[in-house]
Each structure stands twice: as structure tokens, then as C-alpha cells.
Amino acid sequence: MRLTRHHFIAWLENKKPRARVGAETRCPIDMYTGGSTGSKSYTSKNSQGHLESRTLPKWAVQFVYDVDHRPGYWSSITAQRALRLLEHPNQPTKVDF
């Protein structure tokens, strides 16, 4: 699955505001792609059902950083909070884009 900001936001907006879209070590991008996410890449299944690794887009690197550095990191994150992080990201990260 190719990760686009537009489709990820649409997925979040389709959830109830208080729906859990991530928890503990599961980033919302993991839940969306059905794969796993690192600080700069993610894995997901391609159309043939095989896992493939892709580089995260810049907006997603910032989002992952913001999710990982938010207060209550080890608690779940709601669709509403995830959308808020996308709309108002923290200052640019120290992550090398």
C-alpha cells in the first residue's frame, strides 16, 4: 500500500473522533497500512500480498516523530488527536529528512 497524506487523512476522518487508531507500540500508520513503521520507513503488503519496504514521505516522518514524542506516548491515540497532529505538527524535528 502506498502511503499518501490525503488517503491517510480520509481514513482518520472516517473513524469516530474518539476511536483508537494507535496504541502503545502501534503507530496509526501501522494500523492504516497493516504493516509496521519505523522512523523513516514502513512495510506493508503489496498487491501480490508480499511485504515491501518503502521510505516514509516527509509529512509521515514528522507525524511519527510527533506521535512518539507526545505526552502520554504509551497510551492509545484517537483519530481526533492524530488529525490534530497532522494539522498542527510540532516544530521541525531533528530527524534528517
pLDDT in tens, 79-90: 999 999 999 877
Answer yes or no: is 93 within a domain: no
3-class DSSP state of 69: coil
Answer yes or no: is 39 within a domain: yes
- Integer Cα distance of 35 and 54 in angstroms: 11
Structural domain containing residue 79: 5-87
Answer yes or no: is 40 within a domain: yes
pLDDT at 59 over 80: yes
Answer yes or no: is 44 within a domain: yes
Who contacts 22 (Cβ-Cβ below 8 Å, separation ≥6)?
28, 30, 31, 67, 76, 77, 82
Location of C-alpha cell 508480499: 50
Answer yes or no: is 20 within a domain: yes
Who contacts 8 (Cβ-Cβ below 8 Å, separation ≥6)?
29, 32, 60, 86
Answer yes or no: is 42 within a domain: yes
pLDDT at 95 over 50: no
Location of C-alpha cell 502506498: 2
Answer yes or no: is 94 within a domain: no
Max mean pLDDT among 22-26, 30-34, 46-50, 91-95 falls in 30-34
Answer yes or no: is 65 within a domain: yes
- Our count of domains for the chain comes to 1
pTM of the model: 0.81
